[in-house]
Amino acid sequence: MAEVSYARGLAGVIADESKICVIDGVKGELYYYGYPIQELAEKSNFTEASYLLIYGKLPTQAELTDFRKELNSQREIPKFIQETIKNFPKETHPMTALQTCVAMLGMEDVPSEKDSRETNQKRSIKLIAQFPTLVAYFARHREGKEALAPKSELSHAANFLYMLTGTVPTDEISKMFDTCLLLHAEHTFNASTFTGRVIAATLADLYTSVSGATGALFGPLHGGANEKALQMSKSIGSVDNVEKWFAEATASKTKIMGMGHRVYKTIDPRAKILKGLLLELSEKDGNNTQLEVLDKLASLMADKVKAEGKEIWPNVDYFSGTLYEKMGIDSIYFTPIFAIARVAGWSAHILELWTDNKLYRPKCHYTGDIDLKYTDISSR
């Protein structure tokens, strides 16, 4: 067979064009519709960033007020989904429950190929509004607690934490959590967004496409890494154990969860911001053990890879788990929280793709046999 060149995992392949988000992996920069992530994290919030992603521009005050009202009024999930969640096995992972429920949203609000862009924009807002409720309802069920109805007077972030834990968070925690959502809202052609685009490009509906994207986010090489990163740093325990743990991990070629990235060849700008938030909370509660462990591990990795000419740096999942734990959130909800944020980006990509749709259908380099003679089953 003739020699062919191909890119495993589509590494480096430009599969389409988009105006939504760009990453400079060498400089460690990230922009949503041209706005630097640091500036958005400092001055904006998840609700405004969601508007930016869905409509492609920053809102005026009146537009933001209307958007917030719509978002807050859409939080409750359909009754039949509330009832179904009560019958889910409690041992189900919340990501499996979430993916299932997202697909179920399309059972009542039945989409059609003829639906307008406006209808799908409204559906995107509904998805952003209802993801937190779906996660919180299942969380309460698996913990054997009564589900809590959303409170429309609370912010998006505060309402989720209230529905999950039963306590209205302080303004400081709400603001921090909101920043975490903003940082996770969008990230170009990552595995889950690409999955959503691939499904949407077949002209399957928004719910089906977003449900598929949710499934892709679940994996430990993608959104599932935050849960694993926390488990890792806790199992290391203290800064004195890091060197030994790292030596063993290196010898056994164990991947360090929350490190490495297909695009970033330096520290992920979101990890820098999350580390700052973690430092704030660690100073507040007087416990910086986890932060010390993570810092030491990152510096050992930096020294090792420098010698090998590789670039493996903390990514968005490295500090977020420890930060969420300090906010009192159980690690099983870390990836669902990622989904609560990323649904804004998935929706934005699907809406953008549908303005000029093109089916994704790559080719494959075939390495199997050809032209074999079929043998009858009796003589095999």
- Residue 258 touches ligand ACO, criterion: CB under 6 A: yes
The answer to whether the CB of 245 falls within 8 A of the CB of 256 is: no
Residues ≥6 apart with Cβ < 8 Å to 55: 63, 121
3-state secondary structure of 213: helix
State which of residues 255, 288, 331, 360 lies at the interface with ligand ACO (CB under 6 A). Answer: 255
Report the SS3 class of residue 143.
coil
242 binds ligand ACO (CB under 6 A): no
| Spatial distance between the Cα atoms of 86 and 221, rounded to a whole number of angstroms | 30
Contact 60, 53 (CB under 8 A): no
Residues 83-114: b if buried by 16+ CB within 10 A, e if exposed: ebbeebeeeebbbebbbbbbbbbbeeeebeee
* C-beta closer to ligand ACO: residue 150 or 260: 260
Binding mask 312-351 for ligand ACO (x = CB under 6 A): x--xxx----------------------------------
Q: Among residues 5, 7, 9, 79, which is the contact residue for ligand ACO, using CB under 6 A?
A: 9
310 binds ligand ACO (CB under 6 A): yes
Whichever of 59 and 314 has its CB closer to ligand ACO, that residue is 314
Q: Does 221 bind ligand ACO (CB under 6 A)?
A: yes
Task: Tell me the residue nearest to ligand ACO as measured from the CB.
Answer: 260
Residues 6 or more apart whose CB falls under 8 angstroms from that of 201 comprise: 353, 357, 358, 359, 360
Q: Does 256 bind ligand ACO (CB under 6 A)?
A: yes
Size, binding site for ligand ACO by CB under 6 A: 19
Residue 200 contacts residue 353 (beta carbons within 8 Å): yes
For residues 190-209, which are near ligand ACO according to CB under 6 A? Answer: 190
User: Cα dist. 302→24, 48, 77, 222, 252 in Å?
Assistant: 20, 36, 46, 21, 18
User: Closer to ligand ACO at the Cβ: 85 or 242?
Assistant: 242
Distance (Å, rounded) from C-alpha 220 to C-alpha 298? 19
Is 223 among the residues that bind ligand ACO (CB under 6 A)?
yes
Q: Does 225 bind ligand ACO (CB under 6 A)?
A: yes
How far apart, in whole angstroms, are the C-alpha atoms of residue 157 and residue 177? Answer: 6
Residues 30 and 21: beta-carbon distance below 8 Å = yes
- Of 179, 176, 152, the residue nearest 163 (C-alpha): 152
Q: Give yes or no for residue 215 binding ligand ACO (CB under 6 A).
A: no
Considering the complex, what minimum distance in angstroms separates the CB of residue 122 from ligand ACO? 28
Query: Which residues form the catalytic set?
Result: 222, 261, 317
Q: Does 95 bind ligand ACO (CB under 6 A)?
A: no
Least distance CB 309 / ligand ACO (angstroms): 10
Smallest distance from ligand ACO to CB 92, Å? 23
Q: Which residues are at the interface with ligand ACO (CB under 6 A)?
A: 9, 190, 221-223, 225, 255-262, 310, 312, 315-317
